[in-house]
A and B are shown apart, each in its own frame.
Chain A
Amino acid sequence: MSLILFIEQMLNGVQFGVMLFLMAAGLTLIFGVMGLINLAHGSLYMIGAFAAAWVAGMSGSFVLALIASLAAAAAAGALIELTVIRRLYDRDHLDQVLATFALILIFSEGTRWLFGSFPLFLEIPPYLSGPVTLPGGIEYPLYRLAIIGVGLLVAAGLFALIARTRIGIQIRAGEADREMIAALGVNISALYTIVFALGAALAGLAGALIGAIQSVQVGMGEPVLILAFVVIVIGGIGSIKGALVGAILVGLTDTLGRVLLPAVFAQFMAPQAASSVGSSLASMSIYILMAGVLVMRPSGLFGKA
């Protein structure tokens, strides 16, 4: 493998990691602040993608589509927080899993009822489509560079929000002691609704951005959700920094595993067998990474012990 190809694959890994971060950021925020396991996070991702595809189809504008994805996912998030999630904070995780799993089914069939069973069309806007040439002669799709940019902006925005703003202080205080912050006069219910809507909006944004280069269809959120859970477990639950580092680690491990493992096995096996075995091992690589991290640091890289 040439050096250029290797660098390109590293870039692909980082880009995949940033995609995962967009999804994992909202999930870890919600878990960290409220202690809630939200399986329906993937549904909010799907809602964002469908809202974007629908608005882009109507208006032809990708910017409007992104705004619609944020608004629709935040609205759906606020709605389920007020009606369902709110009742789950004091229950154990099993009840939360059960209720949010029911939400997945409701959202999936509801989306099918509204939009039909066939995948929707959402395309990259013309000003972001096609490849650009990077230094070293790597041709790389502009849109994927844009996703890296948006992901890093979201990360910076979240750090600033948590570390520098009044609501950030309340969020951190709520993480530490829910009763005490309520006693100090902060409207904890409203705060939780806001945090949940924010996490949902991030998922919706990820759905819209990623929907443009993937398939906008019912059930698109669940495979990503599993990876997002791996990311936040590796990074340490509740830590935004952990989510970013974990996402990029998972992205790099997955991409390089997919590329390198078949090549390694091809040194001493027939091509077909090498490809098949390499691919099987590659699909395990991120879970092996997760297991390794948990052995060294049981609460994740940046988790609180």
Chain B
Amino acid sequence: MIKGDDDMKLKTLAMAGALTMAACAAQAEVKVGMITTLSGGGAGLGIDVRDGFMLAIEQSGRSDIEVIIEDDQRKPDIAVQLADKMIQSDKVDVMTGIIWSNLAMAVVPGAVAQGKFYLSPNAGPSALAGKGCNKNYFNVAWQNDNLHEAAGAYATDETFLNAFIMAPNYPAGQDALTGFKRYFDGNIAGEVYTQLGQTDYAAEIAQIRDSVADHVFFFLPGGMGISFLKQYADSGVKKPLIGPAFSFDQGILQAVGDAALGVKNTSQWNKDIDNPTNAAFVASFQEKYGRLPSLYASQGFDTGNLLISAVESADVADQDAFRAALEAADFNSTRGDFAFGNNHHPIQNIYVREVIKEGDVYTNKIVGTALEHHADAYAPECKM
């Protein structure tokens, strides 16, 4: 009898313990602070990242991940204020969302120094990949130079001999041209820095026409790229264009129209990468938001799934375990296999895409691989 009683007590205790643990697990919410650009000129990118990220959270069906979303208006000072508020009063565990490198440089070092995890869905400045790498900083997209390096490798593969290269005169633009030259074996026939935000490219196009270049590499993100592509197509200059995906994403192509058709561009993602995760992502994104996903949306989606994979296997309060779970990157990426290098930046394939028209919609298709299992040039400098 006595033994039986004890048995019962033990069972009850075990039950109670299990219940308490379950209750604890339900309370152990992960708070995510997302700072991204939702108004002003670059809002399309932030909206895509947010929508991709939230789609991943929604599909996981988890109720223990709380996401606080704020708009940085593409202004570093506002991003810093938002980050302070999220860290001090909202007490977030993980931060994400920033699109622009200058904003990332203003927010990320402070956030990781205060013991927060930061998962970058886009910006990958070289300063955070090399000497300034941090154990709590993960980049899910790319290091800034990667797509430009791939463009250089592609131009070399195509045996182009003389390049005319062009980018805006600011740090990311200088990185772009450096990245291209790192992998391009031919000559540089012309090297031009345009003004940031420049809208008229007649003078540069005249220089391109006049030069001996056999192709043009340009990095002009957002509206600058739209303006350049339209003006280049109208100028009658026929030298082939190569660029990173930023001037050819799904949000921009419709505004460029026929002027972009046939242009080669480099990207780590495209909607026709053949794996079940990507197919399901493209279909569900289109169903939920009524538009095709861009590479930014895929980056947001992958960031969300990386976070979910870590939440599933570790408690965010145990920083070492959570970090190890993030490093393992045990999730299904839209890019297929996904792995981090020693500096927490992806090691991945970078593809060559061509702009095509499907029905009424301008989009990209993959026509080759520029770089395989590509890591960034700054990884060796990272001591973690």
Closest A residue, CB atoms, query B195: A283
25 A-B residue pairs with CB within 8 Å? A12-B202, A117-B47, A117-B251, A118-B255, A119-B223, A119-B226, A124-B230, A124-B234, A130-B234, A131-B234, A131-B236, A141-B231, A144-B202, A213-B230, A213-B231, A215-B255, A218-B41, A219-B40, A223-B199, A258-B195, A271-B188, A271-B191, A275-B191, A275-B192, A283-B195
Q: Are A272 and B191 in contact (CB under 8 A)?
A: yes
B368, CB-defined interface residue at 8 Å: no
Given contacts A119-B255, A120-B255, A121-B257, contact A279 B234 (CB under 8 A): no
Q: Which of A179-238 contact B (CB under 8 A)?
A: 210, 212-220, 223-224
Q: Is the CB of A214 within 8 A of B40?
A: no
3 shortest interchain CB distances as A-B pairs: A215-B223, A119-B255, A215-B226
Interface residues of B (CB under 8 A from A): 39-41, 43-44, 47, 169, 174, 177, 188, 191-195, 197, 199-200, 202-204, 206-207, 209-210, 222-224, 226-227, 230-231, 234-236, 251-252, 254-259
A4 to chain B, nearest CB (A): 9
- For window 102-138 of A, CB contacts with B under 8 Å fall at 108-109, 112, 117-121, 123-124, 129-131
Residues in B whose Cβ lies below 8 Å from that of A276: 169, 174, 193
Contact yes or no, A275 B203, CB < 8 A: no
Which residue of B195, B202, B231 is within 8 Å of A279 (Cβ)? B195
Q: How far is the CA of A223 from the CA of B194 in the complex (A)?
A: 15
In the complex formed, the residue of A with least CB distance to B177 is A272
List which A136-156 residues lie within 8 A (CB) of chain B. 139, 141, 143-144
Whether A223 contacts B206 in the complex (CB less than 8 A), given A276-B169, A283-B169, comes out as no
Is A9 engaged at the interface, CB distance under 8 Å to the other chain? Answer: yes
Q: Which residues of B contact A15 (CB under 8 A)?
A: 202
Chain B interface helix/strand/loop/mixed: helix
Interface residue SS majority, chain A? helix
The number of chain A residues touching the other chain, given as a range, is 35 or more
* CB neighbours of A112 from chain B (8 A): 39, 43
- Binary contact track A267-278/B, C-beta < 8 Å → 1, others 0: 000011001101
- A300 at the binding interface (Cβ < 8 Å): no
Which chain A residue has the least Cβ–Cβ distance from B174?
A: A276
| Nearest CB of chain A from residue B239's CB, rounded to whole Å | 13
Which residues from chain A contact B224 at a C-beta distance below 8 Å?
215
Q: Determine how close the nearest CB of chain A comes to the CB of B294; give it in whole angstroms.
A: 9
Contact between B207 and A259, CB atoms less than 8 A apart: yes
Q: Which residues of B contact A117 (CB under 8 A)?
A: 43-44, 47, 251
